Amino acid sequence: MYDNDDLTVLEAEIELDPLDSIGTGNAEEEIPQPDPDEMLALLESPHNQQRMLAARAFCELEDARAVPYLIRLLSDACPLVRVSAAYGLGRNPSSSAVEFLIDQLSRDWNGYVRKGVVWALGTVTIAAPWNP
């Protein structure tokens, strides 16, 4: 009923396992960092997707110039932008963000955003203590 030739198709599919393309974490395979200047410009994009991706970039990049933009994005209409901004502020700690993070925590309905804000508050207050 089955021919041995049919198995060659399965073997070919097994060899193309998508998990094989995942990196092993070697330093040689490092992904280049996004350009901070380009990401700063995208933080003011009219498109949610671009603002979100730019805010996410600042989860990897540390650049104090992003802090005022990320603070503004905490009140964005899109929850994905807000959570990305919160995590971006956590990676770019500034005592000037603490009041805005506390305010966002008290009024945001989204659990993921609230979790990101709490994490950001923890990292910001440790790295840049807040003095009201």
* Cα–Cα dist 116/7, whole Å: 49
Per residue in 32-60, pLDDT (tens digit) is 888 999 999 999 999 999 999 999 999 99
Determine the pLDDT at residue 124: 78
For residue 13, is it within any domain? no
The total of structural domains in the chain comes to 1
For residue 28, is it within any domain? no
Between 129 and 75, the higher pLDDT residue:
75
CATH code assigned at 49: 1.25.10.10
Domain that holds residue 39: 35-127
Determine the pLDDT at residue 80: 94
Output the average pLDDT for the chain.
81
For residue 4, is it within any domain? no
Single-letter amino acid, residue 32: P
For residue 69, is it within any domain? yes
Determine the pLDDT at residue 7: 44
Instruction: Please state the rounded mean pLDDT for residues 101-115.
Output: 95
CB contact at 8 A, 117 and 88: no
* Cα–Cα dist 126/119, whole Å: 11
pLDDT-derived band of residue 92, with 50, 70 and 90 as boundaries? very high
Determine the pLDDT at residue 9: 43
For residue 115, is it within any domain? yes
